[in-house]
A and B are shown apart, each in its own frame.
Chain A
Amino acid sequence: MSDIENRRFVPRDRNWHPAPHTPGYKTSVARSPRQALVSLLKPTVSELSGPDFRHLRMGPNDNDLLLNFREDPQHSGLPIGERIIMHGRVIDQFGKPVPHTLVEMWQANAGGRYRHKKDQYLAPLDPGFGGVGRCLTDEQGWYRFRTIKPGPYPWPNDINSWRPAHIHVSVMGPSISTRLITQMYFEGDPLIPLCPIVQTLRDPEAVATMVGRLDMAHSRTMDCLTYRFDLVVRGELQTWFENQG
């Protein structure tokens, strides 16, 4: 226990992340605490440890959204849309790879429709597309998904709010302290600066951390475009001198 209690992560910068209360994103108004967070000056094993998913059994196509869902198994239509590879590394704030960590993602289809009971958008479902992927990072922290580029979609916030094309991304990292859910946007999308959810961030550089970049070097001839998206989780400090006394 004592070893893990010496573990320290770079403090999370709450001014960099979106504030809980962001009135431009209307749903946040009633779902944001008004009281201050209780700061744990000395986090414990309960915060400094987390799940290790190395033994979670996955299917062969869990990271391949072109192949991992068929509404009707008798038919083999590929999903409609631009075929893409989304890849990148999970690293910490010191650039150190985060190996064997779970990366999960979900997204709308090429028309901007989610395969979810609650999504009523008039764009059609795609019988060849589910919209969920997961994988573990390798030894160097790399992850990879094959999918289609999701479409933008309208949502009820302002009279005419549209989500830019995006893929929701979830990463665990080495501890529940590094737990992070974000969204990857696509470089060059004119809807990015207009989006009230993107606008929950105050710093344009914080928005830049969520923009996947076209990666022509890794695109596949006559097959797929590739986007590179690195995920940076809180850095683990290498040394920690325990305060005696």
Chain B
Amino acid sequence: MQQPNAQPMADGVLRETASQTAGPYVHIGLALDIAGLPPREQEVWNRLAGDQAEGERIEIVGRVIDGNGDIVRDALLEVWQANADGQYQPRFDSDAPFNSFGRTAATVENDGEWQFFTVKPGAVALANGRQMAPHINLMVFARGINIQLSTRLYFEDETEANAGCPIFNAIESPTRRQTLLARRESDDGESGARYRFDIRLQGEGETAFFDF
């Protein structure tokens, strides 16, 4: 065999495999139902919390909007959040009442709206004794996005917790911090309160994205 595709740097440490866009057909691989493919035995999808999950049941909806103000109708999102006690549950198990990980996608039928069903995460404790306000890590993939964009969703009705959150405040501009706030839109969604969180990829109100 010729040289493997893994490329070493001068110090022998390997280069990370380069990222490429997930493209317009990402659903075939990661959201089969949206592509029109039959489901497999278990799929990873947008219901993080079942009926038995502890905590306040909520649903989160939103859109991804591009630099022209147009709705991105082919975005795929990944979700990573703590449970109501502020603990992550890494073990993915479709039969468990709660999973920390999920996926969702904008669809043309829904006019580009995505949604997921979960519980409101608890505050997450840090080793230094501080607390992070309740939040959800989101990663956005789509055609035209060369490497995923990572952000955090916070809750507008957690003003005090947000003000004390070291990560929320790591965003230097107070104006940009506001781009991470999900707005409570309704108290009676399909399952509990509904929050709306629009992600603006570019331009006015551009969402703050993280590098970590």
Contacts and interface: CB of A to CB of B under 8 A. Distances in A.
Contact of B19 (A28, A54, A108, A181): A181
B100 to A, nearest CB: 7
B30 A38 contact: no
B90 A170 contact: no
B14 A95 contact: yes
A33 to B, nearest CB: 6
B58 interface: no
Contacts of B202: 30-34
A19 B149 CA distance: 12
Taking residues whose C-beta sits less than 8 angstroms from the other chain, chain A's interface range is 35 or more
Contacts of A16: 15-16, 18
Nearest to A42: B166
A85 to B, nearest CB: 14
B15 A132 contact: no
A39 interface: yes
A117 B108 CA distance: 11
B37 A232 contact: no
A107 B28 CA distance: 8
Contact of B100 (A51, A54, A210): A51
Interface string A81-120: 0000000000111110000000011111000001111110
Contact of A33 (B27, B124, B143, B149): B149
Contact of A132 (B37, B67, B127, B146): B37
Pairs A-B, 10 closest by C-beta atoms = A106-B29, A27-B144, A31-B144, A51-B101, A2-B127, A18-B146, A37-B211, A30-B67, A40-B212, A106-B28
Given A10-B13, A18-B146, A233-B16, 10 more contacts: A30-B202, A33-B207, A34-B203, A40-B210, A58-B40, A132-B28, A177-B212, A179-B139, A198-B20, A209-B17
Interface of B: 1-7, 13-30, 32, 35-37, 40-42, 44, 66-68, 70, 72, 74, 78, 80, 82, 88, 90-94, 99-101, 124-127, 132, 135, 137, 139, 141-150, 152, 167, 170-172, 176, 201-203, 206-212
29 contacts: A1-B127, A5-B127, A17-B16, A17-B18, A28-B21, A28-B146, A31-B144, A41-B170, A43-B212, A45-B126, A50-B90, A56-B42, A59-B40, A62-B40, A104-B30, A105-B29, A106-B29, A115-B36, A118-B74, A168-B23, A168-B26, A170-B22, A170-B29, A170-B30, A181-B141, A181-B148, A210-B5, A210-B18, A213-B2
